[in-house]
Amino acid sequence: MSAAAAVAGRMPTGVRDRLNEIVSQLAAAAGLIVVCIALAIASPYFLTSNNLFNVCVQIAVVAIIAVGQTMVILTAGIDLSVGSVAGLSGVVGCMAMSNWGMPMMLGIVVGILIGAVAGVANGVLVTKAGLPPFIATLGMMGVARGLTFIVSGAVAIYGLPDSFRKVGEGQIGPLPLPLPLLYLIVIAVAGHLVLSRTRLGRYTYAIGSNKDAARLSGIPINKVLVSVYVIAGALAGFGGMIDLARALGPAQLRRRPGARRDRRVRDRRLFALRRPGHDRRHADRRVPDGRHPRRRGPAQHHAVLPGGRDRRDHLGRRLLGPAAAPPAGGRLRGATARR
């Protein structure tokens, strides 16, 4: 140990700092490697290709959102609203496809735009209102979560296109490569290029290092911060769309369950109320002979249950309850029938 310390002491300061940085980065990787080794020993299926692809698909959404969160953290800020924004974006994007009839790609764009709008709100609160990023994004988290319940009505969304499920579970190439993993690779490479090769990336590092010095250097701090929060929100919106596509059940690709049954019940009620001898325009009139007030001719033939009860009266009693049952020898009144 003394020899190693002596060698480290003779190193230049820049090299020693670089080595310390590399060791600190490898420490996290070493912890991950230890966990993988332990899981491989515990289960023989952990290192199989199917399981590794499964793990990559599961972490793809979190990693995509983490790319935008990294840029926010580099500016010495934080965004606590990405989870709620992802949920809101996914719900609105799915409703755009299901309820508003938009194509799949346009629905995904709508979800991404919702996340970007939330990012604009966060950036404005941080730059113009002067709120700390923790407080501003904490408030946006509650707003986005509440809007999710308001927009969806706290019910599941049905009638989504079949192709939308492939966004979260599709595969491509001869390997085959899961689409969420492909999205992650493309976004991670783009994020690295933005931070290392563009002016926005250099400004992001400068603001996070020393905000006052960046302002004095002529860097447009407000513009950069808003741009960073917009990128984080848009990536959260895209991650929300992928997550909902993965969580989509086969039943949600069809129309709302029970719609056909509700229509049948409605038709039966209309049949029970629109029988001969009952007219909405003459709701308070009784027609003892079974004739329609505005029609001539004998009453329509119909089945009669034991005891002389009309089958349609029996059906009205079943559908509308005992309170709506007609008196013996009479017909339903309009007010009772309407209930």
- In a shared domain, residues 155 and 172: yes
- In a shared domain, residues 197 and 314: no
pLDDT given for residue 1 in this prediction: 47
Render pLDDT for 257-306 as a digit per residue (tens, 0 to 9): 555 555 555 555 555 555 555 444 444 444 444 454 444 444 444 444 45
> Rounded to an integer, what distance in angstroms lies between the CA atom of residue 199 and that of residue 219?
10
User: Tokens standing for 312?
Assistant: 């349609």
- In a shared domain, residues 200 and 86: yes
> Rounded to an integer, what distance in angstroms lies between the CA atom of residue 21 and that of residue 8?
14
Express as a percent the part of the chain with pLDDT over 90: 47
- In a shared domain, residues 140 and 219: yes
- In a shared domain, residues 199 and 106: yes
Note whether residue 36 is domain-resident.
no
Chain length of the chain:
339
Note whether residue 30 is domain-resident.
no
Note whether residue 35 is domain-resident.
no
Residues with Cβ within 8 Å of residue 289, at least 6 apart in sequence: 299
**Residue 172, beta-bridge partner list:** 177
Note whether residue 296 is domain-resident.
no
Residues with Cβ within 8 Å of residue 11, at least 6 apart in sequence: 19
Helix axes 179-197, 49-74, angle to 10 degrees: 30
Output the pTM of the full model: 0.69
Note whether residue 19 is domain-resident.
no
- In a shared domain, residues 245 and 282: no
> Rounded to an integer, what distance in angstroms lies between the CA atom of residue 133 and that of residue 113?
21
153: left (phi over 0), alpha (psi -120 to 50) or beta: left
Render pLDDT for 83-102 as a digit per residue (tens, 0 to 9): 999 999 999 999 999 888 89
Render pLDDT for 158-186 as a digit per residue (tens, 0 to 9): 888 888 888 988 888 887 888 999 999 99
Is the peptide bond preceding residue 174 cis, with omega within 30 degrees of 0? no
Note whether residue 23 is domain-resident.
no
- As for how many domains the chain has, the answer is 2
Render pLDDT for 180-207 as a digit per residue (tens, 0 to 9): 999 999 999 999 999 999 999 999 999 9
- In a shared domain, residues 243 and 325: no
- In a shared domain, residues 263 and 249: no
- In a shared domain, residues 230 and 278: no
Contact present, 152 and 95 (Cβ < 8 Å): yes
Contact present, 240 and 229 (Cβ < 8 Å): no
Residues with Cβ within 8 Å of residue 56, at least 6 apart in sequence: 178, 180, 181, 184
Note whether residue 15 is domain-resident.
no
Say whether pLDDT at 234 is over 80: yes
The DSSP code for 65 is H
Domain containing 97: what range? 43-253
User: Tokens standing for 226?
Assistant: 């808003």
Contact present, 205 and 74 (Cβ < 8 Å): yes
Site of tokens 């700390």? 132
- In a shared domain, residues 55 and 156: yes
CATH of the domain at 184: 1.10.3470.10
Burial class (CB in 10 A: 0-12, 13-18, 19+), 53: middle
